[in-house]
Amino acid sequence: MQHRCTVLLLFYLTASSAGVTSSARAESPLRRIEGAVPGQSAAVVVDDCRLIHTTQILPVDADGRVAGATPGDQVDHVLSRLGEIIAASDTSRRRAVKLNIYVADAATRDLVRQKLPGWFGDADLPAVSYVETALPVAGAKVALDAVIASALKNSAAQPTFGTLNAGRAVDWSELPRGDVVYVSGQAEPGELAEATRETLNSLLRTLRNMQLGRQHIVGLKCFVQPMSEAHVVDRELRRFFGEATIPPVSLVEWSSSSRPIEIELIAYAPPVDATETVSFSAPPWMRTSPVYSRVARIHGNRRIYTSGLYANDEGDGAAQVQDIFRSLKGILASTGSDVGHLAKATYYVSGDDASAQLNAIRPSIYDPKRPPAASKAFVKGVAADRRSITLDMIAAPAP
């Protein structure tokens, strides 16, 4: 089974507590926004870099069996594998931008949080998100995918791919300097195999509307149910890409009453002259929405990745959503951005009230002409006690 990424960081934070810290070495292309949660930055600003996107790293050995008798062993295994990818792609831990961490339960989340400061160092903490989900290998308790800034300055004409072991699945893709495209989650009807196949074809049609193709895809994230059928998704991905390289893919189990799978993607696009740092569009055959864009495109090489946001205090869905957006505005201001320059949003919800209130409140937050590309997934949990929603964001700088 191929398990790969696309790129996603959870924390309690108030806008007033956010501050800026810099990595000790002047040559670092990253600026980190300090947050209130140990083990992560509130946000990371990356400038003028190629970006490595890893696959979803699972705690498995070369034979695909779970490696590690305990959750702690599994955490060590996935971090060790991440370290191997970082070394093989000629970058360093101090260039880590973002971790998306998938855990089976809150106890495993706590183990990860304890280990990250020692693994990265307190001055070089990435933005981090967590979500509770079943994983595509039975017995696995933790997985992650990552975005890391490359040390290479030259740019390729399209994404490149790397693997740690010849003959195995791709372990990472490298997004060249230039523009980046975020396509909102798409979901077609049918049984899982048919829905996966038709959703991939729909995504390709969207890319072709922008004069892009399969070869420009950097990563895919699949929200699938049930996770026990993940092998069906893998089979359809192999058919879709054929002899071409399958980019990194990550899988999250979701609950949907109408679709077995939703897929979003990240793609490279050659740079174009633009007056805006981010632009929004929709294929002519798709309806537009005031709360999400079908496609968002960041122009240029500065991007902002936030950690996952939670409400600071317990409350109903409305209180949680309002608190999260207040914190988000403060963090974005610290990075030189704002809600009008959000490019990508991933909303994880685990309660009906939070989901309904997100829908109700978003219209008051976003400019209806420029909401971010987005996916909303109803999941097992958001990896935080007495919380039922978390937001994970990518933004462009305000001009």
Q: Dump pLDDT digits (tens) for 235-256.
A: 999 999 999 999 999 999 999 8
Secondary element (H or E) of residue 11: strand 11-12
Domain assignment of residue 3, yes or no: no
Q: How far apart are CA 182 and CA 39, in angstroms?
A: 27
Q: Cα angle vertex 112, ends 114, 309, to 5°?
A: 100
Burial of 327 (0-12, 13-18, 19+ CB in 10 A): buried
Domain assignment of residue 239, yes or no: yes
The pLDDT value recorded for residue 69 is: 84
List, in sequence order, every residue forming a beta bridge with 137; answer none if it has no partner.
none
Query: For residue 211, what are the domain limits?
Result: 11-395
The pLDDT value recorded for residue 312 is: 92
What does the radius of gyration of the chain's CA atoms come to, in whole angstroms?
A: 19
Pair of tokens at residue 68: 């590690």
Q: How far apart are CA 299 and CA 322, in angstroms?
A: 29
The pLDDT value recorded for residue 349 is: 97
Number of domains observed in the structure of the chain? 1
Domain assignment of residue 223, yes or no: yes
> What residue type is assigned to position 246 of the chain?
I
Domain assignment of residue 375, yes or no: yes
Domain assignment of residue 232, yes or no: yes
The closest alpha carbon to 184, from 259, 265, 283, belongs to: 265
Contact 71/107 with Cβ under 8 angstroms?
Answer: yes
Domain assignment of residue 6, yes or no: no
The pLDDT value recorded for residue 260 is: 98
- Residue ranges of the chain whose pLDDT lies below 70: 1-27, 167-168
The pLDDT value recorded for residue 27 is: 57
Domain assignment of residue 225, yes or no: yes
Q: How far apart are CA 172 and CA 169, in angstroms?
A: 9
The pLDDT value recorded for residue 29 is: 87
Domain assignment of residue 306, yes or no: yes
Q: How far apart are CA 377 and CA 39, in angstroms?
A: 25
The pLDDT value recorded for residue 63 is: 83
